[in-house]
Structure 1
Amino acid sequence: MIKGLRTAIYPVPDMEQGKSWYTSVFGVAPYFDQPFYAGYAVGGFELGLIPDGTPGPAGSRVYWGVDDIDAEVERITALGASVHSAIQEVGEGIKVAELNDPYGNILGLIYNPVFKLEDVR
């Protein structure tokens, strides 16, 4: 049985720069920090950074939940991201946006008033 999102992994060309940027974005430091992997606990899920691999938009799309998508897009672009896909409503009040991180990965954001945290297993 698939239990939902647990980990999103993004490759970064410079681990120290990547950790610094993602620490600023998510407001937490990695709980697991090794040269081969940095793991962040973000709202019950995990963001992992790896120093190998090729950053870019060809990988998986992962959307991180937010309460105010407009404010988060503004905050994260001020930290150095650029807009890949502007905020758009996709139905039932759900809004999504995609940002390019400084390394070429796509960082997805979602405001989903239908999502129920208590359903996470």
Structure 2
Amino acid sequence: MLGLRTTIYKVSDLEAAKLWYSKAFQTEPYFDEPFYVGFNIKGYELGLLPEEDAEKGASVLSYWGVDDILKAYEHLINLEAKPHEAPTNVGGELMVASVYDPWQNIIGIIFNPDFKLQNE
């Protein structure tokens, strides 16, 4: 295993989702087609896949690293995301939180000052 490469969120309105995720992650997509929109988030892929009747569930969580979890959580809530899990300390300085995007996908965020990328 080489680590996280891609997280894909299924959305019913690709154009609205593209705009929302551009604001949420403060970046524009590098790949923008009617069948898939891709964002490069510090070397990791965030993909939007259009699907009208996407099955939703909380069985999978991906956490995106942040430097300030309270600020990042507030930013997403201000974009009309709905709370899933408020910022919570899970040991030491490690904190996690998650929100529902407007399409009911769960976006996790994590503050982990000890995480360092390793060379592949």
**After TM superposition, which residue ranges in structure 1, 4 or more long, deviate above 4 angstroms?**
none
Classify 1:9/1:77 alpha carbon distance in 2 versus 1 (closer, same or farther; 3 Å). Answer: same
Confirm or deny that 1:39 pairs with 2:35. Answer: no
1:80 maps to 80
Classify 1:34/1:9 alpha carbon distance in 2 versus 1 (closer, same or farther; 3 Å). Answer: same
Is the contact made by 1:4 and 1:120 (CA closer than 8 Å) also made in structure 2?
A: no
Classify 1:55/1:48 alpha carbon distance in 2 versus 1 (closer, same or farther; 3 Å). Answer: farther
Is the contact made by 1:55 and 1:103 (CA closer than 8 Å) also made in structure 2?
A: no
Offset at residue 55 of structure 1 (A): 5.4
- Could you tell me the TM-score, scaled by structure 1's length? 0.93
**Aligned positions, number:** 119
1:54 maps to 54
Q: Deviations over 1:56-111 (max 9, x none)?
A: 33352100000000001111100110110111111131100010111100000000
1:104 maps to 104
- Give the gaps of 5 or more residues in structure 1: none
2:113 maps to 113
- Could you tell me the TM-score, scaled by structure 2's length? 0.93
Q: Deviations over 1:26-68 (max 9, x none)?
A: 1111101111110000011010000025153335210000000
The root-mean-square deviation of aligned C-alpha atoms, in Å, is 1.3
- Give the gaps of 5 or more residues in structure 2: none
Offset at residue 114 of structure 1 (A): 1.1
Cα distance in 2 between the residues matched to 1:57 and 1:120:
33
